[in-house]
Amino acid sequence: MNQIKDLFLSGHLKAGDRLPPERDMMDMFEVGRTTLREALKGLESIGLIERSPKGTFISTNFNNAYAESLVYQFYVSEAEWDEIYEARRMIEKEMAYLTARRSTEEELAGIRMTVELMEKAVLSGDQANYVESNVLFHERIANAAGNKVLLDIYHSISNLVVQSQKVLGMHQEQTLVKSVMKDSLEYHQQICKALEGRNAEAARKLMEEHIGIVQGYFKKA
């Protein structure tokens, strides 16, 4: 497993590449068929390779597999709910900081659009659209931060937050929307303004406060 992973990490194998036939890999790694197949099963389980009738390939969807694998790791480690939100707060505040410094005008326009959708949802009392726009707001900031590693970790944390809220009988911030939707909107507006003004420190501070308030709300729920 480690030898195949090293080929991937060194660039000798790239996403979408087909692995050599089993006999060739057995000779290459000096192992038997059973050992090789067990190694391939292990690599498939972590999402590095994909099997099909046409052969075995390096996954082209490894980022998603990586994010999902982190979710399982968090479950296995029995992370506390507060620890999950603490991690979310730390990651998202730094992504807001980076977005203020790195985002393009087009990306900022996309973030602004999600805030406008939230504003309309508040006016109409449309909770479902508010939740959807809220999730999209955070997703677009994560993408605009320009750090692929942080983006993968963000997706893992985001998925874990959703799962933890389902355990509490909630959907993504739905209870929050019912009770403090307007307050939540104000934070999103302020964060967006800081991003558009390229005020990285303010964006970081506001995002940290926002996630902290959401965390506190669910803690009481």
What pLDDT band is residue 172 in, cutting at 50, 70 and 90?
A: very low
Cα 219 from chain centroid (whole Å):
22
Residues 72, 73, 76, 81, CA torsion sign: negative
Q: Which of 63-67, 95-99, 148-152, 210-214 has the highest mean pLDDT?
A: 95-99
- Under CATH, to which class is 64-220 assigned? mainly alpha
User: Which string of b and e fits 128-154 if b means at least 16 CB within 10 Å?
Assistant: ebbbbbbebbbbbbbbbbebeebbbbb
The pLDDT, as a whole number, for residue 49 is 87
From 172, 174, 138, 165, select the one nearest 219 (Cα to Cα). 165
The pLDDT, as a whole number, for residue 126 is 86
Better-scored residue on pLDDT, 157 or 172 = 157
- Cα separation, 161 vs 70, in Å, equals 13
The pLDDT, as a whole number, for residue 79 is 58
What pLDDT band is residue 72 in, cutting at 50, 70 and 90?
A: low
What pLDDT band is residue 7 in, cutting at 50, 70 and 90?
A: confident
Q: Which CATH number fits domain 2-60: 2.40.160.100, 3.40.50.410, 3.30.160.250, 1.10.10.10?
A: 1.10.10.10
Q: Where are the domains of the chain?
A: 2-60, 64-220
pLDDT at 167 over 70: no
Q: List, for residues 118-164, the tens digit of each pLDDT value.
A: 999 988 888 888 888 988 999 999 999 999 989 988 887 877 676 65
- Mean pLDDT confidence for 39-51: 84
pTM over 0.75? The answer is: no
Identical topology for domains 2-60 and 64-220: no
Read off φ and ψ for residue 198, nearest 5 degrees. 60, 30
